[in-house]
Chains A and B, each alone.
Chain A
Amino acid sequence: GQSLEQPSEVTAVEGAIVQINCTYQTSGFYGLSWYQQHDGGAPTFLSYNALDGLEETGRFSSFLSRSDSYGYLLLQELQMKDSASYFCAVLTGANNLFFGTGTRLTVIP
């Protein structure tokens, strides 16, 4: 079977840094993606890691360790608008994304 584990909820203070972890166990692995979804909205692509290491895009960074079947999304300088659900997703085959259940991030003043 396939499984992705990420925390269901995280709360952090505006201006702080938060890390959302994701561990996976899948039959195939090509890479790890992260998506953001605001309530009532659509998932929005944030990042995709195919290789080990850290990739930075503005305030957001994503990390992957294939040997540990682990990745994380790092959000810096948190803003209120970052309150949303964040999904990790494993690319298990060509064009085949398997999504986790999401982490609901609440940013408080």
Chain B
Amino acid sequence: EVQLVESGGGLVQPGRPLRLSCAASGFTFDDYAMHWVRQVPGKGLEWVSGISWDSGAIGYADSVKGRFTISRDNAKNSLYLQMSSLRAEDTALYYCAKDIKTGLYGDFDYWGQGTLVTVSS
């Protein structure tokens, strides 16, 4: 059974950093690209960042470019999102999502349950 478990969310002050993690199991992690997608509760979905199976291709939404860094450790079956210079508008539920392909294709067949990030003073 595929499982994606996010962690690392919480309340953080504006301008401070936060690191999210996603532990994957139930599939061959290094066969697939992985992504972070966020959602303000009750609102729509926004793609944040994606990374190919070998970290050779990485993409970011304009809203986070230069502030967020995605990475993965295939030996640990883990995906990460290092967030810096956080803003109030980054407040959202952050989902880890598995791509259906090795490269950045953008179809997500499995999602975690999300970790809530709240940016507030």
Answer whether A and B are interacting partners. Answer: no
